[in-house]
A and B are shown apart, each in its own frame.
Chain A
């Protein structure tokens, strides 16, 4: 059965359509793999009965010639997506027992297209983190290990469970969300593909909110083609989210294999950091060579406000989080800790329900929005955000079609290694990805090589607004040259 879990989403889709395999067979193989991989802690809830019953329905539709684009494909769902009747916690103690009475727009579109739900995956609490260590369910172990070492590594975050589940072949694809890098950084750490589409491409309705002007959902998959297939089902207009744009969804898969000849690729000099590992430099130049050989033209560009993206993010994101997380008050849903009066009840509930990182961010957000500090912090950060976006707009206006950068400043690190003393140390993980959220652009992480210890490293492509197709075309060129990166099972 192991061979069924090693299929790509596209291969499985084609074999299901040709009746070479059944959806139930495919789902069962994954259910078994998930149960055997509990040491990874990638899933926080397994839904095997639901998976099998959805797979049976898929087999019936396949037999009747009514198959949807994702018919019979077993997927994992980040625990940030509301799933009707299935516990959804955002991996926070404050939502321990929350069972939504509604389905998020994105997951309802996946089920509409025939996909099968294997379960809910682990993430940093409320998606706040870059290592999956802030989850109330505990950290996820990456399926990757350094050569000759047993040191447990982080899968990245916040979509660490989704990335680990894809990398360990515990699903054929997973939903994820990205506020500052939470799709692309874990994808880069685990040798998988992750795309954060343009802000507004996917509906945020029914996705637990972190920072609403930055949050955007996307898929993590084994290949670029798989990401294109899955994004098509996830994207599209939604009357329930006014920030979700009314644009038709292109057939992203058609962009795979399209010539990249003549595309102008910007190489931003500000992404060359002092002290960056030589291996990152190496895969970046390698990526440049690959795109050049495929006919693309490389252009040196400058994004002068890059270094301010991360500090501006750590004002904007906590500010929006402090506002969004005000809803967890012990009244309407979630945890309630009794108090002597209503304020005491609020304060005790939130103190017990939120973990350390969430509390820290809610407090910073509260501070920067408070009277007397709003202009100095929040307003200025939003002005800097305009400048960050303008940097990109000027490059695109000058004829650049996309940019190539490293996805992360390092390979995956060990559990417990970072951010213990200074939270900022952990935040620096997102230095290359956060700019893209600040500017609302699409960005894809594609595995491009390994470091000296055999850990995968990723490159990031950044595109023009709503031009995910170019990212899929370019990403597939890199994938074709670099090959796939599959973790050796030890679990």
Chain B
């Protein structure tokens, strides 16, 4: 399988990464090189094989449902590019 220029633009949009028009061709080449490399997986017989979901066999740990952390808005917001009154600021989303 390989990707065309339109697919590259669509992936960039899904990944939320701006890609300039003059970068599309180069990216397409790189992505197709990677896809060509992984193509060999198609020759493996995977019929009836469970896909791996956990590399170490272990049951999910359970804990008591109680508050263990929080209440520190200042620390949470300390690295925000823009914040005000305990909120993150973003460009207007709803008209």
Contact = CB atoms under 8 A, between A and B. Distances in A.
Contacts of B46: 380, 383-384, 387
B88 A314 contact: no
10 contacts: A102-B75, A308-B41, A311-B40, A335-B81, A348-B18, A351-B17, A360-B30, A364-B34, A379-B51, A439-B55
Contacts of A307: 40
Given A101-B78, A342-B90, A386-B50, A246 B15 contact: no
Sorted from nearest, which 4 A-B pairs have the closest CB atoms?
A440-B55, A382-B51, A333-B79, A336-B81
Interface string A332-351: 11111011111111111011
B93 interface: yes
A213 interface: yes
A3 interface: no
Interface stretch (A16-24, A138-146, A237-245, A269-277): A237-245
B5 interface: no
A105 B77 CA distance: 21
B83 to A, nearest CB: 9
Contacts of A386: 49-52
A341 B91 CA distance: 6
A316 to B, nearest CB: 9
Interface string B1-43: 1010001100111111111000000010011011101111110
Contacts of A342: 90-93
Nearest to B20: A351
A346 B15 CA distance: 10
A218 B39 CA distance: 32
Contact of A347 (B18, B30, B55): B18
A417 interface: no
A386 B33 CA distance: 25
Interface of A: 97-99, 101-102, 198-200, 213-214, 239, 242-243, 245-246, 305, 307-308, 310-312, 314-315, 322, 326, 329-336, 338-348, 350-351, 354, 359-360, 362-364, 366-367, 370, 373, 376-377, 379-387, 389, 422-424, 427, 438-440, 465
A439 B33 CA distance: 25
A305 B30 contact: no
B44 interface: yes
A380 B50 CA distance: 10
Contact of A367 (B3, B33, B58): B3
A351 B19 contact: yes
A101 B44 CA distance: 46
Contacts of B13: 347
Interface residues of B, number: 51
A376 B80 contact: no
Contact of A387 (B14, B49, B82): B49
A383 B38 contact: no
A314 B36 CA distance: 11
A377 B51 contact: no
Nearest to A214: B55
B75 to A, nearest CB: 4
Contacts of B90: 331, 342, 345
A363 B41 contact: no
Contact of B63 (A239, A308, A326, A384): A239
A240 to B, nearest CB: 9
B91 A246 contact: no
A336 B51 CA distance: 38
Nearest to A316: B52
A439 B44 CA distance: 17
A334 B81 contact: yes
B17 A243 contact: no
A384 B11 CA distance: 25
Nearest to B62: A242
Contacts of A370: 11, 14
Contact of B37 (A214, A385, A424): A424
B48 to A, nearest CB: 9
A345 B62 CA distance: 39
B67 interface: no
Given A367-B11, A387-B44, A245 B81 contact: no
Given A336-B81, A347-B17, A199 B55 contact: yes
Contacts of A377: 38
A359 B17 contact: yes
